[in-house]
Structure 1
Amino acid sequence: MKSGLKKMGVVLLSSALLLGACGDGEKTNSSGEDKTFKIGVTQIVEHPSLNAAYDGFKKALEDAGIEAEYDVQIAQGDPSANTTIASNLVGSRVDLIFANSTPSAQAAASETSDIPIVFTSVTDAVGAELVETMEKPGGNVTGTIDSHPDAISNTMKFLKEELGAKKVGMVFNAGEQNSRSQVDAVKAMLKDMDMTVVEASVATSADVKQATESLIGKVDSLYIITDNTVVSALESVIAVANENKLPMMVGEFDSVKRGGLAAYGFEYFDIGYEAGQKAVKILKGESKPSDIPVDIPQKLKFIMNKETASTIGLEIKDEWKAEFSK
């Protein structure tokens, strides 16, 4: 019996040492080979764009030959759960955290300065205090943002010049830093365009339909940005917009596919893949997060949902070159 306990003690000690090694952000070997990495994934809510970004991240690691096990935890829009997830992933001493959204990245960054964090689906990495600068993040965090510098300006020009809009309704969660920064950017831009923003703030996805309805009669168009709370309940916004023949521009392609009118955007799979490429460099020991620049989406294009255009009675012009038809 004593011999058995002694052997068990050795096994437990070995396991403890192994687990201890797993949490050190600097412990990866130079090649990243012959090792299965433990990746913690924190995501604020489930919706197609965020899910596509996660798929892209995994594909990048797969293409690089990285063996990984994923601990995926989704907060379902709950700020408290979001904090708990970050704490749990740090406590389990994962090799790297993939943070898929601004709240997810902020919670993870507040829990650890040692474990590498790679984010995507973040709109303003500097404003969210995730990195010092885009070129030199300076800490344990880097990634790809989901904001192209021309996306908002192109959207507003389309609403004004092509659709004649003057009052743009925006439904968003003011508690999301990425959303507040986008709304502020839109408002600043419209000052010189003889247009105004009418805001409707929500706290949960259950508030989205009522908030959208509150804008009816006050606006002549809608712009749904990359707000996780609202996008997770997008069908309720689409129903209100279509019923009232309101053109609704959106912030990403998946929302067009779900029924939004049009977007200047990019594929979330692509920015997830680009984030994954950064993770590969970190896991292989080639670079540290502090030295890997934060990137913007590389491709921006315009797509339109022809079925939605027909529903709201909008004739599509040839020059719009709509690329998507539901």
Structure 2
Amino acid sequence: MKKNSTLKKLLAAALSLSLALTLAACTGAGNDSGSSGASSSDGTAAGGSSASAAKTEYKIGLVKYMDHASLDQIEKNVQKELDAKSAELGVTFNYADYTYNGQGDGTTLNQIAAQLVADGVDVVVPIATPAAQVMQSVVTDEDIPIIFAAVSDPVTANLVQDMDAPGGTITGVSDALNTEMIMKMMLAVDPDIQTVGLLYSKSEDSSKKPIEEAKAFLDASGISYVEKTGTNTDEVNSAVDALISAGVEAIFTPTDNTVMQAELSIFEKLNEAKIPHYTGANSFALNGAFFGYGVDYDDLGAETADMVVDLLVNGADPATTPVVILAHEAATINTETCEAIGLSLDDVKAAFATLGIGVVEITTAQSFS
């Protein structure tokens, strides 16, 4: 055990009462899913792995940064795939007792991390960059591996040394954006666009790289841009008001959790202003944005769970396990918003087809069914 272990365990014990009070809602969200994450076990995994024969139950610490459609979708699919692997391999992947929601709060995330250390989990699965960064700061000193989900730029976030050779106890699945393609699709819809709004949170490392990529593309294309940021829903609403007043003709947002959480409160004012919102995930479109383009979060959740299983059952080494970057697929268009802002869905499809991009149609809802 490392020298900080005893101190951290004492800290975890001291925080346990506070954690029980402040995270009641968080654990409830994780534990009311109707699945225990457990299956019957005969002590033998498929293929006769000695690791699985020696251990038949694994504790999975599953930590979601906050509630919104993107992260909820990932969480559900991590759990779904772990349940499937439990049945297939005859071992128990117990996530239900160790699932938490950080509510977008750093103090809460630190308390969760301390509790997971005290619980002796076998792996921590943080969903989104801020959750991964807090988990790294606490659990890596205890030699607990991390398999992250939906970290857009793990190198910039200082989670891994290299995408192909992480070099530590952390690896996972990235939802890195193809920002250039989003810009090209924006111009395909409106070749004469003059001013673009950039809407994001400065507090999120996941937004830094795609925003810089967007600026570089727009500069090279001779298109001006206006930046507005927010660190909470009220500030995002104010930022949107400012962008509307500035006369932007379209808005770009990467996979930004802060803006995603605010999307249901901003899409109607953007619709009224006839401004298309181009975003980095289909869940934005589910919550009212005109457009989303990114990785499939169902697939991302399943891939994350598969990496967890490979680590625990097959003994995969995070230091040499490359970060997985999933391929981008079709663009997602909210057909209600498309009509509200005065665009023809057929024209949008035709514009995207020139770039080899198909379209998935969606309507506004709070979450995926």
- The 5-angstrom pairing of residues 1-326 of structure 1 reads 30-31=51-52, 35-65=56-86, 66-70=91-95, 71-113=98-140, 114-148=143-177, 151-163=178-190, 164-218=192-246, 219-316=248-345, 317=347, 318-319=349-350, 320=352, 321-326=358-363
Can you list the C-alpha shifts for 1:175-221, whole angstroms capped at 9, x where unaligned? 11111222122112222111233111112223221111111132111
| Secondary structure class of the residue paired with 2:344 | coil
Instruction: Identify unmatched segments of 5+ residues in structure 2.
Output: 1-48, 353-357, 364-369
1:294/1:91 Cα in 2 relative to 1: closer, same or farther (>3 Å)? same
Kept in 1, the 8 Å contact 2:129–2:205? The answer is yes
Contact in 2 for aligned 1:54/1:269 (Cα 8 Å):
no
- Structure 2 match to 1:20: none
Q: Which ranges in structure 1 are unaligned for 5 or more consecutive residues?
A: 1-27
Question: Which has a greater percent of helix?
Answer: 2
Secondary structure of 1:128's counterpart equals coil
The RMSD of aligned alpha carbons is: 1.9
Q: Secondary structure at the residue paired with 1:198? A: strand
Partners of 1:43 and 1:104 within 8 A in 2: yes
Contact 2:283 2:292 in 1 (8 A): no
- Structure 1 distance, partners of 2:149, 2:259, is 18
Cα 1:130/1:32, change in 2 over 3 Å = farther
Under a length normalisation based on structure 2, what TM-score does the superposition of the two structures give?
0.76
Asked whether the 8 Å contact 2:106–2:134 carries over to 1, the reply is no
Q: Identify which of structures 1 and 2 has the higher relative contact order when contacts are C-alpha pairs closer than 8 Å and 6+ apart.
A: 1
TM-score (norm 1): 0.86
CA shift at 1:46, angstroms? 0.6
CA 213–32 in structure 1, closer or farther in 2 if over 3 Å, else same: farther
Matched position secondary structure for 2:304: helix
C-alpha distance in structure 1 between counterparts of 2:54 and 2:305, whole Å: 16
Local SS of the residue matching 2:197:
strand
Whole-angstrom CA distance in 1 between matches of 2:276 and 2:53: 49
In the aligned structure 1, how far is the partner of 2:54 from the partner of 2:223?
56
* C-alpha distance in 1 between matches for 2:234 and 2:245: 22
**What are the Cα deviations for residues 151-196 of structure 1, in whole angstroms up to 9, with x where unaligned?**
2111111222322322221222101111122212211222211123
Offset at residue 235 of structure 1 (A): 1.2
- Percent of aligned pairs with the same residue? 30
Letter in 2 for 1:67: T
| Cα 1:87/1:167, change in 2 over 3 Å | farther
> Structure 1 residues 82, 62: closer, same or farther in 2, change over 3 A?
same
**2-structure distance, mates of 1:299, 1:29:** 37
Quickly say closer, same or farther: Cα 1:63–1:135, change in 2 above 3 A. Answer: same
Q: Can you list the C-alpha shifts for 1:15-35, whole angstroms capped at 9, x where unaligned?
A: xxxxxxxxxxxxx96126762
Q: 1:82/1:182 Cα in 2 relative to 1: closer, same or farther (>3 Å)?
A: farther
Query: In structure 1, how many angstroms separate the alpha carbons of the residues matched to 2:51 and 2:132?
Result: 26
